[in-house]
Amino acid sequence: MGNWWKEGVVYQVYPRSFYDSNGDGIGDLKGIIQKLDYLKELGVDIIWLNPIYKSPNADNGYDISDYYDIMDEFGTMEDFENLLDEAHKRGIKIIMDLVVNHSSDEHIWFIESRKSKDNPYRDYYIWRKGRGENAPNNWTSFFSGSAWEYDENTDEYYLHLFAVKQPDLNWENENLRKEVYKMMKWWLDKGIDGFRMDVINFISKVDGLPDDEDNKGLVGFKYYANGPRVHEYLQEMNREVLSKYDIMTVGETPGVTPEIGRLYVDNDRNELNMIFQFELMDIDSGKGGKWDVVPWKLTDFKRIMYKWYEGLKEKGWNSVYLNNHDQPRLVSRFGNDKEYRVESAKLLATFIHTWQGTPYIYQGEEIGMTNVAFDSIDDYRDIETINWYNEMLEKGLTPKEILEPIYKKGRDNARTPMQWDDTENAGFTKGIPWIKVNPNYKEINVKKALEDKNSVFYYYKKLIELRKKYPVIVYGDINLLFEDDEKIFAYTRSFEGQNILVLMNFSKDEVEIEIPKKLIESKMEILIGNYEVKDCLQDKVIFKPYEARVYKY
Ligand code: ISL
Ligand code: CA
């Protein structure tokens, strides 16, 4: 069992928005197959596919009605097998999303479960009696409103941490756990290379499901995030399934610190390989949560990343990502998507690929795609965004006031179609796209990127090549420089006699950097940079806006 998941680079495909092969406006599996050569050219090693299972799409596939079948819009099982084959032929692995904190309410288990209190599947979900006219407790859902839904048929409520159509599965039930493991084996036996596990740290809820006394934000969070039996379940899953295959696993885990994170990824504990931490993603959220957008500081960015590096370095491994299908575009959030779009996209790429951990690229990031700002809520598709919009309207906010944070944080920022060329609908579909394309597609698209040797695309490609060439980029220890600087992010890394120096100006100002003497004395060779660099490294250098350089010494 190699270290391929440490050395590789992951590319996340959101199938619905990647490429539509049949003109129905929805990306599909055949579409992904047609673009595999593009991904091969970029040089990525692993594709993570967002959910492609049968689903009524209340939450774009995160509501699964059949774990053994493919979503109608995406194609057939045969298409999936072809995709897996074609990817493997190109030396690219595929990991699938595993969504087992909840299922769809249209899953046969839930259809049975809601029939009667003594149905054999009743206990596959979390049912409770109400308290008088009220829900069993005060927990709220991620997608607005109560986390409980009343069901007349049996006069009880079921728990749904997400949409009403996403009832939470009851992991206390051993038969349910066995079903999940069986399903996982079925996919692994088909030859997939691992799983990204959706909100996997929510699967164990505190006994008694108590009221949350701080009745604000996500009410109840502390009673299910990293719950009492989560490690027991993951160790069981590892024993029964994961340990039998050479695969990679990455858990999506909101609300973890490095201390808690370590429990999931410590090699000796036999749970997961990696997790996605959210501390960095919360860096611009105020007390009111995700929609309460506040400015972020580079010193916090560095502190969080370094803390995670230190926290996991001995026994675990980090994943490095700056955006995904739930987050705004990295260049709009952490860079500058106006005059320095290209420079700042390359700067952020430099960080992702030279920090310690496995890099995750989200589709479109490699061409510098940006956030979008639709004029009306009617153009938005995301259930989280729409539910929150309606909740705020009821509170009396104006559409303009509500759209403002949606422009900054809404999940549809990442979900507009991949911009392939400058023809209608960015070449994504010949039909009507399920969500509008970003109007900037004439400027920002794959075709243009491939024709320009200075594009963001080729910069990513080169970073990926460098990672393969220099083990220090994968394994090197990190030593931070200028920790308290609000504009410069700099570090050295070292491994078995190899060293690199990474210098990045995270601001739109020119900044003078004083290079430590010890470094000037070594022979510095530039590996990559986002501006042309002629001279050798002096003791004082001026860094241009969003300039990034990596030296080897
Ligand atoms: O998207 C978020 C913030 O806007 C997160 O709070 C997100 O809901 C959380 O990280 C869980 O996300 C995952 O599970 C959800 C699904 O909607 C997301 O797309 C998925 O990544 C429910 O399955
Ligand atoms: Ca299609």
Which ligand is nearest to the Cα of residue 323, counting in written order?
A: 1
Residue 368 beta carbon below 6 angstroms from any ligand 1 atom: no
Pocket test for ligand 1, best of 326, 362, 386, 415 (most atoms within 8 A of CB): 326
Average of pLDDT values for 417-432? 98
For 110-157, the pLDDT digits (tens) are 999 999 999 999 999 999 999 999 999 999 999 999 999 999 999 999
384 Cβ below 6 A of ligand 1? yes
- Side by side, the strands of the sheet bearing 46-49 are 274-276, 248-252, 194-197, 93-98, 46-49, 10-13, 358-362, 319-320
Task: Give yes or no for residue 29 having a pLDDT over 80.
Answer: yes
Q: How confident is the model at residue 496 (pLDDT cuts 50, 70, 90)?
A: very high
CA distance 420 to 416: 12
Neighbours of 359 (CB within 10 A): 25
Stated as kind and residue range, the H or E segment containing 151 is strand 148-151
**335 with 370: CB under 8 angstroms?**
no
Q: Is the pLDDT of residue 493 over 90?
A: yes
Atom of ligand 1 nearest to the CA of 409: 4
Please calculate the CA angle 204-312-11 and round it to the nearest 5 degrees. Answer: 80
**DSSP code at position 526:** E
Closest CA to 67 of 182, 207, 177: 182
Residues with Cβ–ion distance below 5 A, ligand 2: 20, 22, 24, 26, 28
Closest ligand to C-alpha of residue 433 is 2
Q: Which residue's CA is the closest to the ligand 1 atom numbered 18?
A: 326
Q: Is 69 tagged catalytic? A: no
All domains in the chain, ordered by first residue: 4-103+174-459 (3.20.20.80), 108-159 (3.90.400.10), 476-552 (2.60.40.1180)
Give residue-wise pLDDT tens across range 64-96. 999 999 999 999 999 999 999 999 999 999 999
- The answer to whether the CB of 249 falls within 8 A of the CB of 284 is no
CA–CA separation, 276 vs 343, rounded Å?
26
3-class SS letters over 247-304 = CEEEEECCCCCHHHHHHHHCHHHCCCCEEECCCCCCCCEECCEEEEECCCCHHHHHHH
* The ligand 1 atom nearest the CA atom of 62: 23
From the list 97, 149, 198, 365, the catalytic residue is 198
> What are 373-404's pLDDT values in tens digits?
999 999 999 999 999 999 999 999 999 999 99
State the pairing for strand pair 156-159/248-252: unpaired
Q: How far is the CA of 403 from the centre of ligand 1 (A)?
A: 20
Nearest atom in ligand 1 to 161's CA: 22
Measured from the CB, is residue 105 less than 6 Å from ligand 1? no
- Which band of pLDDT confidence, cut at 50, 70 and 90, is reported for residue 441? very high
Residue whose Cα lies nearest atom 10 of ligand 1: it is 254
Q: Count Cα neighbours of 413 within 13 Å in the Cβ-side half-sphere.
A: 26
Q: Give the type of residue at 91.
A: G
Which ligand 1 atom minimizes the distance to the CA of 102? 23
With residue 380 as reference, give the H or E element that holds it.
Answer: none
The Cα–Cα gap between 392 and 394 comes to 5
Query: pLDDT-based confidence at 216, cuts 50/70/90?
Result: confident
Which residues, including other chains, have CB under 8 Å from residue 453's CB and lie 6 or more apart? Answer: none
pTM above 0.90, yes or no: yes
Q: Is 123 a catalytic residue?
A: no
pLDDT in tens, 168-193: 999 999 999 999 999 999 999 999 99
Torsion of Cα atoms, 436 then 439 then 445 then 449, to 10°: -160
Runs of H (alpha helix) within 503-552: 517-520
- Give the active site residue among 252, 271, 326, 547: 252
For residue 535, pLDDT beyond 90? no
pLDDT at 1 over 70: no
Q: Which ligand is nearest to the CA of 20?
A: 2
Instruction: Report the C-alpha dihedral over residues 260, 102, 228, 253, rounded to 10 degrees.
Output: 0
Average pLDDT score over residue span 527-535:
92
- Give the ipTM of the model, two decimals please: 0.97
